[in-house]
Every structure is written in C-alpha cells, then in structure tokens.
Chain A
C-alpha cells in the first residue's frame, strides 16, 4: 500500500518545504530555492507591471520603520531613506540591487532586526524580491501604511503565479460590479479555525 511517509531530509519535495529549509539555513548555498530565483526577477526588466516606492525612517538611532509605501510604475523601485540626523537618501537601481545582494549573501532569509536593510527586506521591495510570503506589520509605522500596498501585493503575487505557471487568463474589469453583494460576515470577528 502506498503511504505518505516522507523523509525529513528530503527538502526538495515541495516548494514550501524548500522555502522553509532555506529559512532554517539548511540550504543557504542552494541557488534553486524560490527566494533566490525571485530576487533577480524584478530588477532584470519588465517582469512586473508595477513597481513600488518605500519610505524608511530611522525613528531612533538604528531603529527603522516603514513610514510610507506606494505602488509605482513598471520598473520603478526605490527606497527613500530618512536618517535620524535628518539626511535623506534615495536608493534605487543598481545601488539598491547591490545592497540587497550583499545583504542576501549574509542573510539568505529575513531576520528580526531593526537595522535599515533588515527592515527594507520586510518592505514591498523585499516582497517583490521574494523575501517573504506576507508582510509583517511590526516593521511598519502603523497598519494603515501596510494596507496601502495590499492590493499591489495581490497583483504582484498574481503576476508571479502567472509567470510560474505560464498562463495568463482571466476576466477583469476596472471596478467592482455595482449590483454585487459585499460585506459578507462583516459584523463578525475572529476566524473559524477548527
């Protein structure tokens, strides 16, 4: 009888296991994992139909937060960096890519730090580079800032899945159908875990 007994050491068996193995540092040198594949995607050209501009602020010495984030045009990816001393830099293009590659060579997966690059990797820019599957509110100045890019993130995720499956189909419109029903369970709190 065929049974689903799987060897712990087989971390190539599926994409989530492989990503987790990478986060655990088990496959730090393995260039085939999802995060590494994705990290060169956005910078190499017109892979995504939208870019993103992230503002990072050093709220106290070496303690950074994402204070603003907006979708931008195709190929437009930049970090506006506001230092504690008032100095403002913009990091984009090759300079941004170089910084991220350097960081990624030391930290193959995201870490819990408050340094500028730690936080940048948790931003929309990090999301585009495939550094995590969903954003973490603790790196944002407040939840509203994170919400600003939620539709954008869905879009990126969609495009990513289309790239990986090679299909582009679907029915789209610019606004919600006006006669539709919305707000299902909007009065309820909590989930339905069981």
Chain B
C-alpha cells in the first residue's frame, strides 16, 4: 500500500468564495496572423468561437497553484502504478489486452519518453481539482503555445505575462528523448488523421519543436505510412519526395492507442515487433494509456483517498450528485450527470459501450454571464502552460478557447 503524502494546501483562503472568473476585453485581432501561418481552420465556421475577444485574468498565485498541481498529480500518478503492471491492474483500467506487452515494455524502458499531456482541472475554493488527464493525444497545442500569445500581442499587451511556455518545454523534451536514443537516426514522422486540419496543425507545432531539437521531421497522414516488419526494410516508411521514401526511427502519433488496439490490432502487433527490436520509438508511449484511462481517476482515489487535488471517483456509482464518464471518452462524449440516482444531463457520443467511472460533481468557476471555465494545464516534463476552455455546460469540442493574462 502506498503512503500518501499530501503537499498541497487543502484550502486556500485567497480564493474568492464565489469562485468567479474575471475577464478583460482585449480586441486583439489575429486573423492576419492565422492566415499568414496557414492556420485557417481556426477561422472556419465550426471553430468560429475558438478565440473570443476576451481573456481570463488569472491571479499569479492561482497560476502557481495550477502548475504545481499538475506537477504533483503527475508524480502521484507515476507512484500509484504497481510494479510489473499486474494483469488485474491493466484489466481494472480497461487497457486492451493486445496492448499489454507494449504498455509493459514501454513502462520498463525509460527511453520510451512521455512527451507531453494536458491535465484538465476545475479551480474551486478548495484549490484545483483534477477532472481528467489527456496523457496520450492531447490537442489545443497551437492555441496554448501560439494563439493565446498572439491575441494579446495583437492587443498591444506587451508588458503582460502569460503561462504559455509549451513550445519551449516540447523542445526540451525532444532534446532529452533524442539524447536518450542517440543510437537511432534522428528522423521523426508525425502522423495524424488526414481529414482533420486541426490535428495537422497540432502536428505542425510539434514538428517545429522537434526540428529545433535536432530531428528531421515529416508530416504524414496515418493511412499513408508504410509499416514493414520483414527483412532489411523493417521499419516505418513515408514518401518524402518524388520516388523517394524515407525510413523513420521515431514516430509521433496523434492517434489514440486504444483506437489502434481496437480497430487496427495488426498494427499493434507490428509496432510491438518494431519496438522490441528498437527499430521505432513512439510518442506518446503506450504506457501513457494508463494515465489516459479514466479508470486511473478511481485508482488514484483508492490509493490517495481524499487527496486535496482529487475528486472522489469510483468504479461503482456514488451517492448525491456525480458524473458518469466512459474510460476512453473524448471531448465530453457520453458524459452523464446524475443527481440522487437520476440522470439530469446526458451528452450523446460514440463511447456508450465502454465501462464507466463515477466522479463526484464539481462546480467550475463562472464568469458573470454564467459560462463555466476549465483550465487545461500542459505538462511536458514539467507543468509549462495553461489554456482555458469555456462552455455553458459540459466542456465539449465546440467549447471556446480563451487566452489568459497573469495579474
């Protein structure tokens, strides 16, 4: 049994009891910058609310608390994982069985490096609370690393400060990953679903950071890579020019591990083959699915009951008001709010066949208009950046992204 040592303050009296979010209008227009960068998806209809003309004013001590919380949560997550990853632990977290070998292999070999993830948190009068950890395929990288900076720069707020050091942290992480794997060619292919301009743009920022760390990089839709496990051509290949294919030693995938495991099991077998022979290194590594699984939230509560950064979470329904959510849901899909055994809100989605965890309901901070705010705290080796999303209810893929400014 792990010994829980809690270093966070349980109650921070400097939080307003009302739990309000303060906003400033800024009027920074970044349309020309977006066009110049070719990031038009931000301006497309479906994302039109991505960056309203307002910014969250974040007191510096709250930013400190959020970043410190992410660092501490990462530590307790790692510490909570039992040695040798027993079968019943992997079952409890819902890890697909065909991934177990890769999860164990990557966990036991430090050269499989966790590049980055995003902790979604609620700021409460009792301090930040973990909602979930997007450990495997977190997005909103361009918004957090570049756009929230750009909107305030465009508004002329040049003397203001912001927690937006995601790009710099990614560069440092890539350097470390490269150094640990100096026996491999520093060639990195970044894979994504071709249909998503948003996913591609996330990859572009990651690719730029990798280049700065000394990788040569290539972006390629996942359906166009070639995975070969036989003979001297073993490896992951992508077409980089006319009659020119390149073999890559490193792969970044903006593709969830569990989806690969369920829908493309043969690819998992191939990746096992190529990972065990050190032909390919993948980020984020397979073990990050342990943290990504919402089963981890219940596991954490079992191991660190009443930890000040956690909400009570269980594998079985709670009493009172709670949220039921699928182990591997995304963007709020299939989330259900239950009060005294009755469902009061239910978001439709494609994850309704998955096991559920039950998390104590938590009030998010609000602005004067009643919008709810969720803080996304990026971790890349350490907590490095904050970005806000807001919605009238549960945070989904249509939520607005807001810049913040420190006070």
Residues on the B chain within 8 Å of A167, using CB? 186, 214, 216
CB contacts (< 8 Å) of A169 on chain B: these are 185-187, 216
Contact check: which of A11, A132, A191 meets B37 at CB < 8 Å?
A132
Mark contacts of B237-264 with chain A using CB atoms, 8 A cut-off: 1 yes-contact digit, 0 otherwise. 1011111111100000011100110011
Contact between B241 and A155, CB atoms less than 8 A apart: yes
Interface range on chain A: under 10, 10 to 19, 20 to 34, or 35 or more? Answer: 35 or more
With the chains together, A14 CA to B145 CA distance in Å?
A: 10
Known: A7-B161, A170-B187. A185 touches B36 (CB 8 A): no
A5, A19, A194: the one within 8 Å of B139 (CB): A194
Tell me if A31 counts as interface (CB < 8 A to partner B): no
DSSP class of B's interface residues: helix, strand, loop or mixed?
mixed
Residues of B within 8 A of A181 (CB): 226-228, 266-267, 270
Q: How far is the CB of B272 from chain A (nearest CB, A)?
A: 13
Look across to chain B and name the residue whose beta carbon is closest to the beta carbon of A11.
B153
In the complex, what's the smallest C-beta–C-beta distance from B308 to chain A, in angstroms? Answer: 19
Q: Determine, out of B12-20, B165-173, B365-373, the stretch whose residues face the partner at the interface.
A: B165-173
Point out the residues of chain B lying under 8 angstroms from A1, CB to CB: 64, 68
**Chain B residue at smallest Cβ distance from A189:** B195
Find the A residue at minimum CB distance from B378: A4
Distance in Å: Cβ of B335 to nearest Cβ of chain A: 13
- Given A5-B63, A24-B153, A110-B35, A186-B198 contact (CB < 8 Å): no
| CB of B312 within 8 Å of the partner chain | no
Among B214, B230, B384, point to the contact of A165 (Cβ < 8 A): B214
Residues on B facing A (Cβ under 8 Å) = 30, 32-33, 35-38, 40, 60, 63-64, 67-68, 134, 137-140, 145-146, 149-150, 152-154, 157-165, 167-169, 171, 185-187, 192-193, 195-196, 198-202, 204-205, 208, 211-212, 214, 216-220, 222-228, 230-231, 233, 235, 237, 239-247, 254-256, 259-260, 263-264, 266-267, 270, 330-331, 383-385, 397, 406
- In the A-B complex, list the 5 residue pairs whose CB atoms are closest, starting with the nearest: A191-B196, A4-B165, A23-B36, A9-B158, A155-B241
What 8 new A-B contacts, CB under 8 Å, besides A173-B244, A179-B228?
A4-B164, A5-B60, A6-B163, A8-B161, A20-B37, A20-B153, A176-B226, A182-B223
